[in-house]
Amino acid sequence: MKMLLRFLLFIDMLTIVACVSTTPDGKIIEDEKKEVIEDIKIIQNWSGDFPVAKLNVLPRGQERLPAGYVSDAATFKSVWEIFSPATPVPEVNFENNIVVFGRNTQYYNRTTIFKVTLKDGVAEILAMATMSANPIQDKVAISMAVIPREGVKYIFTAGTNLPVK
């Protein structure tokens, strides 16, 4: 009986290993459908604070979302001048790139985007955050990253896909 249980456990482990593999260029392939999840290169990134009273400067409809994107220079300039008023606005080629952001929505936690993945045109922003029980009052922590626009059709945020225009 023990031998049968060990064998079944071994078969289960082989099944799990068989469901995850990578392509020669490092892309992860998972499940039977062989869907490709790729890491999107982060070109630049920044983290800091953003005043709650100025969240309306974020793109329309994204002011209250935990993640979103900026797709034009004028909006980015407005956001940057609030985010980091003492430093020049970084140059971003919005023809080829977008700026994604992640921010906290309940508690003030410093956050940093460390990875962005793409699966079937949907970009998912992965961020690390400190853990606190301090409620958001005057400011939120926000992280922004420049990523290539190519292939990004949606940003996954708040349980839904936000179309990228």
Q: How many CA atoms lie within 13 Å of 124's alpha carbon, on the beta-carbon side?
A: 11
Q: Do 32 and 62 fall within a single domain?
A: no
Backbone CA torsion sign across 60, 118, 146, 111 = positive
Q: Do 84 and 16 fall within a single domain?
A: no
- The strand pair at 44-51 and 28-30 is best described as unpaired
- Share in percent of the chain as helix, strand, coil (round to 5): 20, 40, 40
Q: Do 45 and 108 fall within a single domain?
A: yes
Residue 26 is predicted with a pLDDT of 61
Residue 22 is predicted with a pLDDT of 56
Q: Do 32 and 45 fall within a single domain?
A: no
Q: Do 138 and 90 fall within a single domain?
A: yes
| Domain that residue 24 falls in | 2-37
Q: Do 142 and 93 fall within a single domain?
A: yes
Residue 19 is predicted with a pLDDT of 40
Residue 33 is predicted with a pLDDT of 58
Q: Do 24 and 80 fall within a single domain?
A: no
Radius of gyration over every alpha carbon of the chain, rounded to an integer in angstroms: 20
DSSP alpha helices (H): ranges in the chain?
2-18, 73-83
Q: Do 30 and 81 fall within a single domain?
A: no
Q: Note the pTM of the prediction, 2 decimals.
A: 0.77
Residue 87 is predicted with a pLDDT of 96
- The strand pair at 122-129 and 154-157 is best described as parallel
Chain segment 93-132, per-residue pLDDT in tens: 999 999 999 998 889 999 999 999 999 999 999 999 888 8
Q: Do 71 and 84 fall within a single domain?
A: yes
Task: Tokens for 165, please give them.
Answer: 């225009």
Q: Count of domains in the chain?
A: 2
Task: Tokens for 138, please give them.
Answer: 């005057």
Q: Is the pLDDT of residue 60 over 70?
A: yes
Q: Do 42 and 121 fall within a single domain?
A: yes
Residues counted in the chain = 165
Residue 159 is predicted with a pLDDT of 94
Chain segment 23-41, per-residue pLDDT in tens: 666 665 555 556 789 999 9
Q: Do 27 and 48 fall within a single domain?
A: no
Q: Do 44 and 31 fall within a single domain?
A: no
Three-state secondary structure along 6-29?
Answer: HHHHHHHHHHHHHCEEECCCCCEE
Residue 30 is predicted with a pLDDT of 57
Task: Tokens for 137, please give them.
Answer: 């009052």
Q: Which residue has the higher pLDDT, 140 or 27?
A: 140
